[in-house]
Amino acid sequence: MSDSPIILKVEGLSKYFGGIKAIDNVDIDIRQGEIVALIGPNGAGKTTFFNCLTGIYTPTAGDIYLSDPRNGKTTRLNGKKPNKITEIGMARTFQNIRLFPTMSVLENVMIGRHCRTKALIFGAVFRNKATRIEETQIIERSYELLKKIGLHRQVNEEARNLSYGAQRRLEIGRALATDPFLLLLDEPAAGMNPKETEALVALIREICAEGHSILLIEHDMKLVMSLSDRIFVMDYGKKIAQGTPEEVRENPAVIKAYLGEDVDA
């Protein structure tokens, strides 16, 4: 794994909200094909970190570079619009589910194909051949994805009527529809029962095996330890540890951040 190319390189990233240092000088890198976890106690700045990566926040300082392994092009993401970043090849899901509630399952996924297709209003009005072919392709590809996430029997259901676990999977499906090479998952297993979590782990492995790299925030330590190749640990906006699951588990700084200082020691 260590010889595959770096696809995400974050250098000295900081994000301040007034006097609060939500993220303070964090370096992170992710290689092609890795599953990397970002963990840390509540309020450590993990979601803010995601928001900086995806362009929702503009970082106060630092650089974010994304390299597409498919063509080797490196782009600096600072100041880019979120939809541009999605176009380059990074997609995300949210901690709290954010589907388009009154659109159908199929439509939710189709929306994700948007940035990969060309036709806009002209094509919509005149419906020329190219538009029709493109639309068929969108639907076919969306079906494929829905099959993978196991929702192909509910294509016409409104997204809000799905079960919780299914909604989470649909969010991942919608993110995949944008053809990302790096997928950011913000607490994908939150609120899931053990069976749903198991299915999720299998799904994440499958996505990774297909060549997507994954960066995930998660509190379920069993999931994190079994799934990730490497782990980064944040606390109070700073990166306090990194390494393989074994290294991180033994790291005294991590234990301190999670459990507090040992009084007897």
Partner 1 sequence: MDYFIELLFAGLTRGSIYALIALGYTMVYGIIGLINFAHGEIYMIGAFTSFIVATVLSIYGFPLLAIVIIAAVAAAVWSSAYGFTVEKLAYRPLRKAPRLAPLISAIGMSIFLQNYVLLAQTSDFLPFPELIPEFAFMEPVAHIVGSSDMVILVTTAIVMIALTCLIKFTKIGKAMRATAQDKTMAVLVGVNVDRVISATFIIGSALAAIGGLLIASHIGQINFYIGFLAGIKAFTAAVLGGIGSIPGAVLGSLVLGLTESFATGYISSDYEDVFAFSLLVLILIFKPSGLLGKTETKKV
Q: Give me the 55-74 binding string for partner 1, x by CB under 8 A, dash otherwise.
A: -x------------------
Site string for partner 1, 130-159 (x = CB under 8 A): -----x--x---------------------
C-beta closer to partner 1: residue 148 or 238: 148
- Return the HEC string of 206-231: HHHHCCCEEEEECCCHHHHHHHCCEE
The residues in 157-186 that bind partner 1, with binding defined as CB under 8 A, are 174-175, 177-178
**Residues 175-234 contacting partner 1, CB under 8 A:** 175, 177-178
Q: Give the nearer residue to partner 1 in terms of CB position, either 65 or 94.
A: 94
Candidates 27-35, 67-75, 104-112, 226-234 — which segment interacts with partner 1 by CB under 8 A?
104-112
Question: Is 82 a residue that touches partner 1 (CB under 8 A)?
Answer: yes
**Dihedrals φ, ψ of 232, to 5°?**
-110, 140
Site map for partner 1, 9-48, x if CB under 8 A? Answer: ----------------------------------------
Please choose, out of 13-21, 39-47, 121-129, 257-265, the segment that lies near partner 1 by the rule CB under 8 A: 121-129
**Least distance (Å) from partner 1 to the CB of residue 79?**
15
**In terms of CB distance, is 33 or 173 closer to partner 1?**
173
Long-range contacts of 252-259 (CB under 8 A, 24+ apart): 257/40, 257/41, 257/44, 257/233, 258/41
DSSP string, 159-178: GGGS-HHHHHHHHHHHHHTT
Laid out side by side, the sheet with 20-31 consists of: 20-31, 6-17, 61-67, 74-76
Bridge partners of 230, per DSSP, are: 36
Rounded to 10 deg, the angle between the 194-209 and 164-176 helix axes is 10
Q: What does the alpha-carbon distance between residue 101 and residue 154 come to, in Å, rounded to a whole number?
A: 14
Q: Tell which residue, 238, 250, 240, 204, has the closest CA to residue 224.
A: 204
Query: In DSSP terms, which residues pair with 66 in a beta bridge?
Result: 8, 75
Site of interaction with partner 1 (CB under 8 A):
54, 56, 81-83, 86-87, 91-92, 94, 98-103, 107, 110-112, 114-117, 119-121, 123-125, 135, 138, 174-175, 177-178
